[in-house]
Amino acid sequence: MSKQALDALAAKFPSAVARTGSANSDEIAWIKRDDLLAVATWLRDDPAMAFDSPVFCTCIDWLDWRPVGRPPSEHWNESKPRFTVCYQLRSVAKKHRIRLEIEVPENDPRLPSLAELWPAFDWQERETFDMYGIRFDGHPDLRRIYLYEEFVGYPLRKDYPKEKRQPLVRRDDLPVNPLKKEHH
Amino acid sequence: MGLELSTTRLEDAANWAKQSKLARIPEWGRKFSLFTYPFVTACCGMEFMSVAAPKYDIARFGAEFPRFSPRQSDLLMIVGTITEKQGPALKRVYDQMAEPKWVIAFGVCASTGGFYQNYHAMPGADQVIPVDVYIPGCPPRPEQVLDALILLMDRIQDGRGHSQLRLKRDAMIAAQEAQTGDE
């Protein structure tokens, strides 16, 4: 059932869908960034699609990722953009699911926001911005959601130092341990 | 159980009176009427409930009454992970408590950060406020909590709680300054 939705999407937007695939019984469509808003609007409003339930929005950081035991392919090569933003959609009425994956380059981490289409993506996109620094154009209120405003950097990016803390408050009467390495 | 404890308290009082340490009677009283502020942030809270519930019954040691106002409590129990974002709130709660006050770090996360050695978790609540007793365990057994409470009660009796020591030090400094001022 989901396969039919994916095929219909690929037939409707042949230029917007870079490729399609299937993993762990989820149908995936790789969408070009500039066409995301048009594709998502159609997926929501078309009566045969009727994707009424936003499941999640998240991001994958492919920094230094290498396929183990297989050569570079169309799925992965050196020129692959660093980030992939995923939107998982579901239709309660039509009982099908689809995942939109959008590749986002490191030097321009921007993406049209889907928060206007599905309000539940509002906080999810804020979390993605908070953790990965992806800018969602057109988002009504793009602020950090979990971390504090004083936080510098994006902690779930693979190049964020693992134990780098950014304290808001500390005691001033603590002795300094010269053996302990701090990232500053 | 209650009879046994009251006997202990009477013997305790008689013991201190024998050693002519009547001036320490307030501290003897304090150790049996701790008012807890449960700063519960994580899963250790379930174990805290178990300690407070009838099976382990922290009431036997006079610390049964959680006060959700820092003004009315003198034992701050930090139960669970403290994140960097929570640091200012924890410090504010501690600062609002009246002296003398005591702090227990309940579980490894409150003591050292536990297995959260990353960007968001504070490596121990003692980064922000002083802590009297640390309880290891993830989460600690209720017996460990009661053990820590008895340890803290001994310290309160001896005047070795961190705020008691601080008050003593401040009083000594003030006395010294008054003396040098007179000369």
Burial of A101 (0-12, 13-18, 19+ CB in 10 A): middle
- Is residue A183 predicted with pLDDT exceeding 60? no
Per-residue pLDDT of chain B (183 residues; tens, 9 = 90+): 445 555 566 777 776 666 656 667 788 888 898 999 999 999 999 999 999 899 998 888 888 888 889 999 999 999 999 999 999 999 999 999 998 899 999 999 999 988 999 999 999 998 999 999 999 999 999 999 999 999 999 999 888 888 888 888 888 888 888 888 766
Q: What pLDDT shows up at residue B4?
A: 53
Residue B127 to residue A167, Cβ atoms within 8 A: yes
Q: Is B84 on the interface with A (CB under 8 A)?
A: yes
From start to end of chain B, where are the E strands? 36-40, 75-79, 102-106, 133-135
Euclidean distance between CA atoms A15 and A105, whole angstroms: 19
| pLDDT tens sequence across A17-26 | 888 888 888 8
Q: What pLDDT shows up at residue A127?
A: 95
Residue contacts between A and B (CB atoms, under 8 Å): 45
Asked if residue B139 has a cis previous peptide bond (ω within 30° of 0), the answer is: yes
Which run of H or of E encompasses B163?
helix B162-182
**pLDDT category of residue A178 using cuts at 50, 70 and 90:** low
Burial of B13 (0-12, 13-18, 19+ CB in 10 A): middle
Burial of B101 (0-12, 13-18, 19+ CB in 10 A): buried
**pLDDT category of residue A65 using cuts at 50, 70 and 90:** confident
Residue B122 to residue A165, Cβ atoms within 8 A: yes
Q: Is B89 on the interface with A (CB under 8 A)?
A: no
Residue B85 to residue A160, Cβ atoms within 8 A: no
B113 or A66: which leads in pLDDT: B113
| pLDDT tens sequence across A70-95 | 776 666 667 788 899 999 999 999 89
| Contact between B84 and A168 (Cβ < 8 Å) | yes
Burial of A128 (0-12, 13-18, 19+ CB in 10 A): buried
Q: Is B168 on the interface with A (CB under 8 A)?
A: no
Q: What pLDDT shows up at residue B19?
A: 65
| Contact between B80 and B110 (Cβ < 8 Å) | yes
Tally the C-alpha atoms within 13 A of residue A65's C-alpha that lie toward its C-beta: 16
Euclidean distance between CA atoms A98 and A100, whole angstroms: 7
